Amino acid sequence: MIRFATTAALAAGLLAGCTSVGEIPTARVASATLYQANGAPAGTALLTRAGERLTLSVALAGLPAGEKGMHLHMVGKCEAPAFTSAGGHLNPHGKQHGSENPAGSHLGDLPNITVSSNGAGAATAQLSGTSSELEALLFDADGTALVVHAAADDYKTDPTGNSGARIACGVLTR
């Protein structure tokens, strides 16, 4: 019994060293329900805070299989069928598009999400900046939308990453 307690304490100590308290999500900041152009549900997104970091977690369902571009857009409006009401990518600092673009990237850039043959996919992305700065930008007067595109983002072509049509959209709400 003593050996088990010692081993458990050692394991807990080692695991505690891997994660700091500042990395554990402590607050739910916002969420979004994503819809396809026909009104069918397409998934959910959750924005959480851990210390000064914001993390966006996305789960998709019912979409065509393949790699899809995913971006934050500058207007919190998702009018079907084309979702153009969401405006362009969220780019408050006037940068170019894409993590592989030498002049990029902007706040709206997110990693691609892979949708499996059963229509489901999930991805997580840490947003760049402090939580107070990001929240001011995300929840300004016209809000922010999360848009999923038909094709993969190439991470370099300005302004959209050649990610194709907008196939799902949701508004981030506190």
**Per-residue pLDDT tens for 18-33?**
555 556 667 999 999 9
pLDDT (tens digit per residue) in 119-130:
999 999 999 899
Cα 146 from Cα 77, distance rounded (Å): 10
Distance CA 128, CA 98 (A): 13
Give domain 21-171's CATH number out of 1.10.645.10, 3.90.870.30, 2.60.40.200, 2.70.98.40: 2.60.40.200
The pLDDT tens digits for 143-165 are: 999 999 999 999 988 788 889 99
Residue 61: CB atoms within 10 Å: 16
Q: Which three-class secondary structure state does DSSP give residue 12?
A: helix
pLDDT for the residue 94: 84
Least confident of 38-42, 101-105, 140-144, 146-150: 101-105
Of residues 114, 125, 115, 49, the one with CA closest to residue 90 = 125
Can you give the residue ranges of every domain in the chain? Answer: 21-171
